[in-house]
Amino acid sequence: MAILMKTIKNRKYAYLVSRGAKGKIVHTYLGPAQHPKVVSLMALQKESGEIPKHLYWLFWDTNPQKIELYAFSKYIIERILELGNAASLKWLQMVFPTKKIIEVLYTSRTLSEKSKIFWKIWFGVK
């Protein structure tokens, strides 16, 4: 997901860009760029480019500043699903699509069976 800014008659408007069914790109109107909710979403989007400091404790065995989010997405998702809390899950769902999280849930060899069962119930999958 990304936030796209469009300028129409010298006014800026924000759109959320994501992939819908069958890979179709969907633009969802968020509002004028100056709206407080849009500004806070854009700030969250900037933060989501790297692992936030309040989640460093989950990555004690590596340097969290050097982890590339999308290159090591499976590792990050596994670690948060196994050891994370509500704040880490919120960040995870902001950064990675639910489809990717569920894919890791099914393909992971490092997640415990207990965690897999819990997250399958949480995400409503079998």
Threshold 0.75, pTM exceeds: no
Predicted confidence at residue 108, as pLDDT, reads 94
Which stretches of the chain drop beneath a pLDDT of 70? 1, 19-23, 45-48
**Which ranges of 55-123 does DSSP label H, i.e. alpha helix?**
73-83, 86-95, 98-107, 113-123
Predicted confidence at residue 47, as pLDDT, reads 62
pLDDT for 1-35, tens place per residue?
677 888 989 999 988 877 666 667 888 888 898 88
The two tokens of residue 14 are 């924000």
Predicted confidence at residue 76, as pLDDT, reads 94
Domain positions in the chain: 1-47, 49-126
